[in-house]
Amino acid sequence: MAKILSKREFSPGVKEYTLDAPLIAKKCQAGQFVIIRTDTHGERIPLTIADFDRDGGTITIVVQEVGNSTKHLGESFGVGDEILDLLGPLGRPSHIENFRTAICIGGGIGVAPVYPIARELKKAGNKIISIIGARNKDLIIFEEKMRATSDELFITTDDGSIGRKGFVTDPLREILRAGGKPGLVLAIGPVVMMRNVAAVTKEYGVYTVASLNSIMVDGTGMCGGCRVAVGDETKFVCVDGPEFDAHLVDFTNLMQRQQMYKEQEALEYSCGGHCQCL
């Protein structure tokens, strides 16, 4: 059981929760995730640890409501309520070292998991250039946190309502074209964004890491549900990742696998969802 200590809405369908989780807060590191199950009927939802407070014994998650389980969490759980299962920390922590300059890129909800990694990279002595993007101004999250941890911050929106109009790859390409030679580019966000970031950095031979959000079941390497093709190998995102060399990831395969259960989901929604009739 994990009690919700605070809940706030960033934008419609995007909410931040602080959870009472002293054991996880004590152990977790940047880049790791948890799996939650809200109640006995709930699916298992993998969520990145967006922040943690070791002294306070809390972790922070930021959740985008995309389907049945995330909407159920957003609509039915508030401050004081308890989440039935909280499993973690899971996955390998981010590799932190002094790359001299690191470009940290977050798209949409992906900005939340970028933040603790950027903070650790900064502590390790890196110059941090951050690029955060979203469809519009209302969907930009963690701007102040990212500004505080970055030496330079670029904001892009698809409609230009804040920052510059365009995609996160626009400032990235300009930095690389101008001769900037980061030791690391980190990208977390929609798969299409991570794929496009990897395409740009490949042209310039810049080491790039993407944090993958494959569909997961157990989260402990037992079921194979989260498998991805990385170079010539098959990897399990839950235990081998979630971060991988973005130049080796088969993003097309990842996108296809994310759509795998669409029919089942539609069936579930057709009877109101959140039941066990299937």
Ligand X SMILES: Cc1cc2nc3c(=O)[nH]c(=O)nc-3n(C[C@H](O)[C@H](O)[C@H](O)COP(=O)(O)OP(=O)(O)OC[C@H]3O[C@@H](n4cnc5c(N)ncnc54)[C@H](O)[C@@H]3O)c2cc1C
Site residues (CB under 6 A) for ligand FES? Answer: 216-219, 221-226, 236, 238
Pick from 184, 210, 51: nearest CA to 126: 184
**Shortest spacing between CB 213 and ligand X, in angstroms:** 4
Residue type, 272: G
* 70 scored as a contact of ligand X (CB under 6 A): yes
Nearest residue (beta carbon) to ligand X: 67
**Shortest spacing between CB 240 and ligand FES, in angstroms:** 9
Tell me the residue ranges of DSSP E strands in 21-71: 33-37, 45-48, 51-53, 58-64
Cis ω before 22 (30° cut-off from 0): no
Residue 66 binds which of ligand X, ligand FES, none (CB < 5-8 A, kind-dependent): ligand X
**Shortest spacing between CB 56 and ligand X, in angstroms:** 20
User: Which of 6, 259 has the CB closer to ligand X?
Assistant: 259
Pick from 270, 269, 228, 249: nearest CA to 72: 269
**Shortest spacing between CB 65 and ligand X, in angstroms:** 7
* 48 scored as a contact of ligand X (CB under 6 A): yes
* 167 scored as a contact of ligand X (CB under 6 A): no
User: Which of 221, 231 has the CB closer to ligand FES?
Assistant: 221
Residue type, 62: V
Residue 70 binds which of ligand FES, ligand X, none (CB < 5-8 A, kind-dependent): ligand X
Under a CB-based contact definition with an 8 Å cutoff, are residues 103 and 153 in contact? Answer: no
Q: Which residues of 135-166 are buried (b: 16+ CB within 10 A; e: fewer)?
A: eeeebbbbbebbeebbeebbbbbeeeebbeee
**Residue 66: CA count within 13 A, CB half-sphere:** 14
* 39 scored as a contact of ligand X (CB under 6 A): no
Structure tokens belonging to residue 259 = 């759509």
Residue 64 binds which of ligand X, ligand FES, none (CB < 5-8 A, kind-dependent): ligand X
Under a CB-based contact definition with an 8 Å cutoff, are residues 54 and 30 in contact? Answer: no
Unique residue bearing structure tokens 């690389």: 176
User: Which of 91, 163 has the CB closer to ligand X?
Assistant: 91
* 68 scored as a contact of ligand X (CB under 6 A): yes
Residue 77 binds which of ligand FES, ligand X, none (CB < 5-8 A, kind-dependent): none
The binding site for ligand X (CB under 6 A) comprises: 33, 43, 45-48, 62-64, 66-70, 109, 112-113, 213-216, 237, 242, 258-259, 265
